[in-house]
Structure 1
Amino acid sequence: MKNNLSLFKNKSFLFFFFAALFGVLGEGIYGLTAIVMVLEKTESVVEIGKLLVLTLLPSVVLAPFLGVLVDRFNKIKLAFLCNLLRFVAIFIIPASVAFGFFHVSIFYVSILLSYVIWFIIEPLKESILKEILSPEEYKQGISLVQGAWQLGLLASAIIAGMLMDRLGTTEAIFTASLVYILAGFLFVGINTKGDKAASEIEGKPTLKQYRSELVQGWIYIFQNKKVLYFALATSMVLPFFYSINTLIAPFNYQTLKGDGISLGIIDSGAGFGSLISAILCTLWVRNHAISRVVLVAISLSALSTVLFSLTTSVPFAFIMYLMMGMFIGMVKVLTRLLLFEQVEEKFIGRVMTSVSFVSLTVSIIMSLLIAFIGEASLTYGYIAISMGLIIPFVLTWKGSKFRSLTNLFVKKEKRSDKEDGVYDAY
């Protein structure tokens, strides 16, 4: 643990850690409050599914093109700008209420804009983290950042529940918008080795260059089967979260007969569990059989999801949600570790935006499917979610069977260097 905590002596990592923490805090408050607002106005699980699709659809269109943007331009400036724009996108809701011109269309515009920006920020953060840490620090760093993500998720659920019950949904959304101002300024304190490289690119990229770099990224993924399968497995985590988010509010109000506080408490269980998973992964990452642990964690995620659907009390629901968060949190951290071990740094932006593209597309399908199933039966909805986890299980298993193409290239380069050495000797 000492070696892991020593990362905080790295000023750039310290700023990044708290920027990630506050970013997820704002996202958690905003996301949970938005679901409650829709449920209050429509009392329909299907409408919640439609809302989640609305958060994803524009980003599906943009995701394939963002990788080149992330790999080419100054990441710190882009991160600051994205956080500032997300503040504006969210702030228009409380501002419109305060000045008396609020309409539901404004809410949906806010959702569209804020989540387009959100899915630029996420692969951008992955790329920044890769640049500010050495290869030796990266495994511990990603686990610690995952801990920040889960801590923000945990705190945001409790804070959102309290704000909604005591102040109202508008005030909760206003609080979420302010958090992004703080996160944006924290990014300014980060120095990355990639900023200089980005600034050295002469001129603006042409459409031909842009298309060429995009195609190179896709070719790289498909040629390296290990990267392909681990990228697809990583892509299945977000659909799981969106699926359970589709059903959590209806389950709380309809099955458990709860309120905003109980919703926040149950939802915080996922944060607690995921925080535990981040700590476990931080302590465990030096071991080698990561893929086996991922397979076990996926299986236990499916089991705990089914058991959660059978709960009838808030305390037991909290415990089961904690278990769900812990196991799927392990899947999220460890599948990323498996993926990043295989990806060359120059392709990281394009690989992660490809992961985002697949995640978003599958999340749309899953959100609508689970919403329609949940409208008929919440229990069947949770069973369908658990069955969907068969996909990342199979992908992880298949990915572990392939040899790394990157390693093969390294071996070829070493053989080539030896041959050159022989010729030089003569």
Structure 2
Amino acid sequence: MTKNYFLLVKEKNFLYFFIATLIGVLGEGMFGLTSIVLILSKTGSAFEVGKMFVLTLFPSVILAPFAGVLIDRYDKRKIAVLCNLVRLIAILIIPVSFYAGVFTISIFSISIFFSYIAWYILEPTKESILKSILDKDHYQQGIALVQGAWQVGLLASAVIAGIVIDWIGVEFSILISGMTYLPAAIFFLLIKRPQIPLTVEQESHPFSLKKYTNVFWEGWTYFLQNKKAKFFILTTSVTLPYFYGINVLIAPFNHHVLNGTGTTLGLIDSGAGIGSLLSAMICTFLAAKMNSQKYLFASIILLGVSTVLFSLTNSVLVAFFTYIIIGFFIGNVKVLSRTLVFDFVEEKFIGRVMTTVSLLSLAQAIIMSLLVSYLADKSILFSYITISFLLIFPLLYTIMGIKAAKEAARYDQSSRKEHFFRGKTI
């Protein structure tokens, strides 16, 4: 493994991917935070914020399983470009309606509906592109660097959105967020085709419904039978609902507990970006030295502890630093669990596997958003404790994944020895 950890950035395909991700996350961070502020200002209810999150998730739950087949078969760049352009148009509907004086919650809901269908097709597409442009020795470094791009984007977006909301208004913040998807689309288009070449069978046979069904079930069978990857896939699927859970709570916590403003909300939310950026740096530089499985297990435990500590703060400054710690451990869980999935999943299945992750994540995020937003209207502290307690599930998944990986390693070693001695006998 190369000692120059940033050598990947010199590779054009990875560089274009990195920049596209950074720009896209900047837009998503601004749009997500501004949407929360918009709904909370219109309704005053955390539960309404939770319902908004459900609206962002539900359509994608239906589409996620089917998107993987298309991602594994067709030009991933073009799918990514199309998704970015759909988001651009869908999000710009909101500020245009503001300036035209016809904005309603219904228009906002339509925008959310279409923009997040595109978003949750885009995310597994990006995972598939990343897998195809990295070699095995650079999975963790590449994922960590992209995670760093995520966190720089989230950090910058939180600060920018908070200031813009206070000084110019929510409509301008949403306008900026929508416009970011145009340059992101351009950078995805610059990536040279990273898809797996079609086999002779694929080229000679049209993609019929029967063929689609076979490929779809092939992906699910692979997921269910791959014991090494299955449990780490389940762990990976928890990061999104956890992120949604604390996102639902951050604005009510800032308003009701800290008596904060849009600027303080942006400051605290940026703490998660700083923490996850630190996580990405550590995962990048220590990729060859750390035991990913044990570090993942410890990070899940410490994530729960730091979340409870955050809920007990009543100072903006303390909340900011505590949120840095939360972001650090969320970053660890995201990078390490994805690294293990990449290690144990063949490239030709990565699109279908990552859309499986997306499906599981979306379903859990719907439940999490409704649960914590309902509890938040009664007790914000109890909501945070509930989120932390639910981390028992990824802990169990990780334990079972470690066990399955060890069993597979022993089996492989035993098979190699048996093969060796058979060769000796012959």
TM beyond 0.5: yes
Q: Which residue is 2:34 aligned to?
A: 33
Q: Which residue is 2:166 aligned to?
A: 165
Q: Secondary structure at the match of 1:201?
A: helix
Q: Which residue is 1:61 aligned to?
A: 62
Q: Which residue is 2:274 aligned to?
A: 272
Q: Which residue is 1:372 aligned to?
A: 374
Equivalents in 1 of 2:60, 2:309: separation in Å? 33
Q: Secondary structure at the match of 2:405?
A: coil
Runs (5+) with no aligned partner, structure 2 = none
Q: Which residue is 2:84 aligned to?
A: 83
Matching residue within 286, 295, 318 for 1:284: 286
Equivalents in 2 of 1:58, 1:404: separation in Å? 38
Equivalents in 2 of 1:282, 1:232: separation in Å? 23
Q: Which residue is 1:183 aligned to?
A: 184
Work out whether 1:388 is the aligned partner of 2:365.
no
Q: Which residue is 2:225 aligned to?
A: 223
TM-score (norm 2): 0.94
The 5-angstrom pairing of residues 8-47 of structure 1 reads 8-47=9-48
One-letter code of the match for 2:27?
G
Which stretches of structure 1, 4 residues or longer, exceed 4 Å deviation after superposition? Answer: 404-422
**Given that residues 228 and 408 in structure 2 are in contact (C-alpha distance below 8 angstroms), is that contact kept between their aligned partners in structure 1?**
no
One-letter code of the match for 1:58?
P
**Given that residues 274 and 322 in structure 1 are in contact (C-alpha distance below 8 angstroms), is that contact kept between their aligned partners in structure 2?**
yes
Equivalents in 2 of 1:23, 1:42: separation in Å? 28
The 5-angstrom pairing of residues 326-365 of structure 1 reads 326-365=328-367
**Distance change >3 Å, CA 409–CA 126, structure 1 → 2:** farther
Matching residue within 254, 265, 283 for 1:263: 265
Equivalents in 1 of 2:315, 2:72: separation in Å? 48
Equivalents in 2 of 1:405, 1:61: separation in Å? 35
**Given that residues 27 and 157 in structure 2 are in contact (C-alpha distance below 8 angstroms), is that contact kept between their aligned partners in structure 1?**
yes
**Given that residues 139 and 339 in structure 2 are in contact (C-alpha distance below 8 angstroms), is that contact kept between their aligned partners in structure 1?**
no
Work out whether 1:107 is the aligned partner of 2:108.
yes
**Given that residues 154 and 273 in structure 2 are in contact (C-alpha distance below 8 angstroms), is that contact kept between their aligned partners in structure 1?**
yes
**Given that residues 68 and 354 in structure 2 are in contact (C-alpha distance below 8 angstroms), is that contact kept between their aligned partners in structure 1?**
yes
**Distance change >3 Å, CA 410–CA 12, structure 1 → 2:** farther
TM-superposed CA distance for 1:373, in Å, is: 1.1
TM-superposed CA distance for 1:100, in Å, is: 2.7
One-letter code of the match for 2:261?
D
Deviations along 1:54-95, one digit per CA (max 9) or x if unpaired, are 100000111111110110110011111110111001011111
Work out whether 1:119 is the aligned partner of 2:115.
no
TM-superposed CA distance for 1:249, in Å, is: 0.3
Equivalents in 2 of 1:140, 1:342: separation in Å? 16
Aligned residues with identical type, % of pairs: 50
C-alpha RMSD of the superposition: 2.4
Q: Which residue is 1:194 aligned to?
A: 195
Runs (5+) with no aligned partner, structure 1 = none
**Given that residues 54 and 366 in structure 2 are in contact (C-alpha distance below 8 angstroms), is that contact kept between their aligned partners in structure 1?**
yes
Q: How many residues align?
A: 424
